Structure 1
Amino acid sequence: MMKWRYLIRFKDWVQIAGEKDREKVGFLEGIVSIVVNVLIAAVKLFYGIAFHSISLIADAVHSLSDVLSSVVVIVGFKISARPPDEDHPFGHGRMELIASVIVATLLFVVGLEFLKDSISKIVKPEISELNAVGIVVVALTLLAKEGLARFSFFLGRTIDSSVLIADGHHHRSDAISTVLVLISLGFVHAGWPRADGIGGLTVSIFIMATAIGLIRESASPLMGQNPSLEMVEQVKEIALKHEEVLGVHDIVVHDFRSIYNISLHIEVDYTMQLCRAHDISDAIEREVQGRFPGWAVVHVDPVNRTHSRYGEVSAAIEELKKNHPIMETAHDIRIVGSDERFNIVMDINLEKTPARLAEIEEIRRRLNEQFPGAGIVFNIDPPVFGIKH
């Protein structure tokens, strides 16, 4: 019971520290990884020299090289924890993502080196020799590395840190390669010398694939990926709480890890006084900033839903949505002109591919059939998450 109580307390501390001071959690993982890797290297070096084992001495050097990824973790968290300054008004939070890419790249290099060694062993099989002491040392290394991997995964998932998860995969790659060494030794001594190289080839491909996945996962937020549906819904909920807000669209979120830069468009009646619209947008900005740390900017779009033709135009657009899903992104629908001669103007979010543009022309044709003589104007904006009304 005592053990579980301490584990629960530690998990609670990680969650609280992750919310208030991520640097502490990153520093903890980095220091623990460095200490364990240095101890592993020292044990391997000691027994390698004592028993004249070149392979253990070489593996000791490899364990020391693993310290580099942990140093990157600590430096990454240290920089990302810096507050905003004149040159970086949105903070330094994305440095954690950059550190994650660096650690994943180091993992890919490990896989590449492993691949080269494995191919060499397939072409020219070698009979590996390892005495009982060496096997014990390797087995202890396996336990230590798997323990480090699980520790890093636990911290990374608790505070949602891609760099800690990447470092966990780095530790696990060493554990997997150690398992491979032990298994392949059995196959080699059973008369299958190429088993070592074939197993190594399989593991190296797995390691490189994992590294590529981690790089893509970390690079995506750096390039500006869409926010989560949950976050978009929360922003919309804040805006739509105000009765005068008729619609919300074009929610854009720039995630700087510790700070968000959020912009959104709200629709209000075109007769609303400018001062009132300004007050509403200010209130929404404050509420969004209260929910998500950073900045929020609200753009006001006036819409006229009192035009005599608005009802039938709106119904026609709703009908078009059944066969043309891209019409779900239509917003800022405006009718300009008299009852007889008018233009239907709307904004729509889509990629300007030939297929999409052809579909827009088909929609224009169908609207012209229903409203002869009306001008149909589409203002095409880039695809943005959270554009449905």
Structure 2
Amino acid sequence: MIETEIENRSKVIVRTSIVGIVTNVILSAFKAAVGFVTGSIAVTLDAVNNLSDALSSVITIVGAKLSNKLPNKKHPLGYGRMEYLSAMVVAVIVLYAGGTSAVESVKKIIHPEEANYSTASLVIIASAVVVKLVLGKFVKRQGERVNSGALIASGADALFDAILSLSVLASALIFITTGISLEAYVGIVISIFIIKSGIEMLKDTLDDILGKRNDREKVKQIKKILTSEPSVRGAYDVFLNDYGPNKLIGSVHLELPDTMTVEELDALTRKLQTKVHKETGVTLTGVGVYSYNTGNNEAAKIRNDILHIVKAHEWALQMHGFFVDFEEKTIRFDVVLSFDIMPEEALEILNKDLSAAYPEFSVHIAPDLDI
């Protein structure tokens, strides 16, 4: 089922990208012709922008194809992240197009040349605005449908292009009616938008490659599935590794009663792993456990006291995995720390507080990241 969804996703990306390539090549050809005939730098730069969009779509197809390569010994988790690398290449191309456009526009400001617009050229520019609006909405919708960052970025870029083409049309009409030439300055505006779009695309792609904060809704959904089992008192430390769009591999800690046997634990974790993958597509490769004290009111009292001590610090966001071993005289638990404090400093403060409150116990605290 999952393989079929991946295959369908790839087909949607390829088909949508082909539509973008054909449309942008046609628009680029017409605009380049108009720019050449009229001598308009703004129209010519708009044509270059369309051509870079077509090239971006080609790279998107290549990235989608490479990301679907089957796992092997060298890359056992597959090639899903190739799609992020292809998106980075697209961002660099967009930045290059924006930089080139800016240079050419500045040259035209220094050495201005008057454009000569015809009715046909105005019709072509106006038509390009409509085509880009339709294309942008279509590509962005398809990207959201299959969770493709490259398609979503391309769709948003096409919508920006429509606005830029509209500004080119406006500058042409102003020149015809007033004789004032603004097209070189419009070229600068176009360049700024292109560069801004490239920077945003590059930033988003780098975030994907470096690793982003977990999707809160996805984590909430996973925790809800896990805690639906009566024996699971809590699910913590959900960590999701992104190996490409729709390919998440994760781990989690479950809080379970100290009376559970290994046989019961094995059956439970296998059941939950299957259920999480079926409902969310996330593969839980690691399921750790915390045990909690059962049938001991003293442990519950100690837990409440320590929770009060820990939560007195603003940087201590959560405490979980609490267990008291009365025979060994040990207390262990995890604390989720904010990024406002270094883990070493936090542990030093907490150990000092708890040593004073429970000198007869050895306290073991594991710091957790706020992910």
Q: TM-score w.r.t. structure 1 length? A: 0.80
**In 2, Cα distance between equivalents of 1:346 and 1:52:** 74
Q: 1:57 to 1:221 in 2, by over 3 A?
A: closer
Whether 1:247 aligns to 2:234 is yes
Deviation at 1:126, TM superposition (A): 3.7
Q: Could you say if the C-alpha distance between residues 30 and 342 of structure 1 is closer, same or farther in structure 2, counting changes exceeding 3 Å? A: same
**1:11 aligned partner:** none
Q: Give the AA of the match of 2:68.
A: A
Q: Does 278-287 or 326-335 show the bigger shift? A: 326-335
Q: What do the CA deviations read for 1:49-69 (whole angstroms, capped 9, x no partner)? A: 8x5868677866664454211
2:148 — aligned with what?
161
The 3 A distance-change label for structure 1 pair 275 and 204 is same
User: 1:253 touches 1:263 (CA, 8 Å); kept in 2?
Assistant: yes
Cα distance per residue 1:99-140 (max 9 Å; x no partner): 222222222222222222333344444433322222222222
- In the alignment, the residues of structure 1 paired with residue 53 and residue 227 of structure 2 have an alpha-carbon distance, to the nearest angstrom, of 51
Alignment partners' CA distance in 1, 2:193 and 2:295: 62
What is the percent sequence identity of the aligned residues? 27
Cα distance 1:61–1:92, how it changes in 2: closer, same or farther (>3 A)? same
Q: In structure 2, what residue type is equivalent to 1:76? A: G
Gaps spanning 5+ residues in structure 1: where? 1-16
Q: What letter corresponds to residue 224 of structure 1 in structure 2?
A: G
Give secondary structure in 2 for the equivalent of 1:329: strand
Partner in structure 2 of residue 3 of structure 1: none
Instruction: Report the CA distance between 1:186 and its aligned residue.
Output: 4.2
Q: 1:324 is matched with which residue: 310, 313, 326? A: 313
Change (3 A) 1:300 1:59: closer
Distance of 2:31 and 2:190 partners within structure 1? 23
Match of 2:276 among 274, 288, 297: 288
2:137 aligned to which of 131, 137, 150: 150
- Output aligned runs, 1:1-389, within 5 Å: 21-44=8-31, 63-188=50-175, 190=178, 192-193=180-181, 195-256=182-243, 257-293=245-281, 295-296=283-284, 297-306=286-295, 309-320=298-309, 322-337=311-326, 342-350=329-337, 354=341, 357-381=344-368, 383-385=369-371
Letter in 2 for 1:253: L
CA 1:234/1:172 → structure 2, altered by over 3 Å: closer, same or farther?
Answer: closer
Gap runs ≥5 in structure 2: none
Change in CA separation of 1:317 and 1:117 when aligned onto 2, cut-off 3 Å: farther
Greater displacement, 317-326 / 242-251: 317-326
Count of residue pairs the alignment pairs up: 364
CA contact (8 A) 2:339 2:370 kept: no
TM-score using structure 2 length: 0.83
Q: Which moved more, 1:116-125 or 1:136-145?
A: 116-125
Between the aligned partners of 1:61 and 1:337, the Cα distance in structure 2 is: 74
After TM superposition, give the deviation of residue 264 of structure 1 in Å: 0.9
Give CA-to-partner distance per residue, 1:144-169, whole Å, 9 cap, x none.
22322222112112222211122223
Q: Displacement, 1:249? A: 1.2
Question: In the TM superposition, what whole-angstrom CA distance separates every residue of 1:244-294 from its partner, at most 9, and x where no partner exists?
Answer: 223221111123324321211112233332222222222222222222336
Q: CA RMSD in A?
A: 3.2
Asked if the contact 1:18–1:159 (Cα under 8 Å) also holds between the matched residues in 2, the reply is no
Contact 1:101–1:215 (CA under 8 A) maintained in structure 2: yes
Alpha-carbon separation, structure 1, partners of 2:196 and 2:32: 31
